[in-house]
Each structure stands twice: as structure tokens, then as C-alpha cells.
Amino acid sequence: MTVTAQPRVRHDDQGERQATVRTYLMCPPTYFDVVYSINDWMDPTEPVDVRLAMLQWSNLVETYRSLGHDVVFVDPVPGLPDMVFVTDSGVVVDGVAMGARYRTEQRADEAEHVLRWFEANGLISPTRPEFVNEGEGDFMVVGQTILAGTGFRTDPRAHAELAAHLRREVVTLNLVDPSYYHLNTALGVLDDRTIAYLPKAFAPESLAVLQQRYPDAIIADEADTAWLGLNLVSDGRNVVLASQATGLAAQLSARGFVPVPVDMSEFRKSGGGIKCCTLELRGVERTRS
């Protein structure tokens, strides 16, 4: 892996929006299952089709590659069924890495495996946090700002810790609806200035912050967020999102983005989706042979 100062921009002839080539860290769902319940989506009595989950995850990988992005992998670990949701295990900005510290004991060991991956692959200052933070589950990078969720998982003290480590502005947002327990289930980043979000997921003071900072945001409908439509990944032009989130896809198209629908319904059984499976390595480029 190599750390790069500037993102690679791919210029498109169709429309004004430009896609920036990204590098994503992912983890195969080899051991994916719902064997405990730590959020409102999880029901251990509902069986998981592991074969279907692997097919859906593999399709997501190929979708990223078809859009020109790099995908690298961390190995799955037996006994860690949620490790496929690798985005919760860290944040990487300008090649600098902050690890995670999970609130629930069921996921605690995931953080150590991903932190070791950061160290082995040359990321800058990979750090084990003092306070509970669940990575990009609750930290969303919008340009030079990091929107930081709290209320269910991440300790608000972790927000200042992250700001000091990454030297970025961190803005606290309070989540109030347990169905949207992580920020990335209630808010999606579309480019360095544009977000989409579900207003009911936020406390009134946090909703006011979003309205003031992002007056042109896309306001999502619950018919789409019920399919984790906001748990999306965007390269600034192409937006990979749940295939069932058709209303949100139409809103994106109207704003000049290109929706790229992908079915990740098997992971919804665990309260996870596209973004949950995708940790962006900002400022990191895979070394090509």
C-alpha cells in the first residue's frame, strides 16, 4: 500500500459530477450469521443464507471494481460473524488511521484484527482509541469535516479524540431512533458538500445543525431507509445503494448523481448494508505491479 497526497479523479463526459477513484477495505462474509441481537434489526431465529450473502457481497466487490475502484481485503475470523461490517472498525483520512473500540463484547475482537491490518499495511499512526468508537459506523467524512454520531454506540468523548488524531473538525450529532443506531444508517455522504439523511433519526438540536450546514441535502423517506438506503457508498458521481431504495435512487438521479443499485438484503438481517461492508482508505492507494 502507498499513501497518496491527492485523490485520483476520473473525468466523465456525462454530466458535471466527477467520480474520484477510491480504495476500499472489505472482509468476506465467510462466517457471517446472526447468532446474537445487539440492535433492533437482529433476530437470531431468522436463518441466514450464507451462500446468498457471499454472492451479494461478491457482487458488491465487482460493482466497485467495475466503477474503477480498488478493493483490498482483511481476512475473516472464525467466531466473529459481524466482521464483514468492516467499516465499523476504523476511520482513515489522509492515510492516518484511527482504530475502533466496540461498545458490545460480541464485536470487541474485530477492532484488534483490523488495527493489525492497518499496522501491517503501512497506514500512518494506527491508534487504539481510549473511548468507545465504532469507526465509520458513526464517523462520516464530508470534505474536511467529520460528522460524528452518538446516542447508541460511540462515546461522545471519542469525538474529540478523533479530532485530535486526524486534525479535522468533528461535529457531534445525537441519534434518537434505535432503528438507526449508527450514523451511517441515517445519513449518507454523496460528495464533499452533499449529504442525504433521515430527519427523524436525529435529536432536534442535531437536525438544526444539519439543516444549517447542508441546506441542499437530500431528505430521505422511511420507505427507503427501511431498506438501509442511506447506508450507501458514493465516489462523487456514482452512488452504490440498496436496490430496494427506489425513491432515493430517483432523488439522486434528479440531482445529477448516477444510482448503482445493489441487493444486499441478506445483510439487512443483521442491520448492515453497503456502507457497513466498505471502509474507505482515504489517502491510501494500492501498490500496483
The 3-state DSSP class for residue 174 equals strand
Catalytic residue among 27, 69, 159, 276: 276
The 3-state DSSP class for residue 5 equals coil
Write the DSSP assignment of the chain as a string of letters: -EE-SSPEEEP-SSSS--EEE-EEEE---TT----S-SSTT--TTS---HHHHHHHHHHHHHHHHHTT-EEEE----TT-TTTT-GGGGEEEETTEEEE-B-SSGGGHHHHHHHHHHHHHTT-EEEE--SS-B-GGGTEEEETTEEEEEESSSS-THHHHHHHHHHTSEEEEEEB--GGG-SHHHHEEE-SSS-EEE-GGGB-HHHHHHHHHH-TTPEEP-HHHHTTTTTS-EE-SSEEEEETT-HHHHHHHHHTT-EEEEE--HHHHTTT--TGGG-EEBTTEEPPP-
Active site residue 159: no
How many Cβ atoms sit within 10 Å of the Cβ of residue 108? 13
Any bridge partners for residue 9, and if so which? 20
Active site residue 182: yes
Catalytic residue among 27, 69, 182, 277: 182
- Report yes or no: 231 and 185 within 8 Å, Cβ to Cβ: yes
Catalytic positions? 182, 276
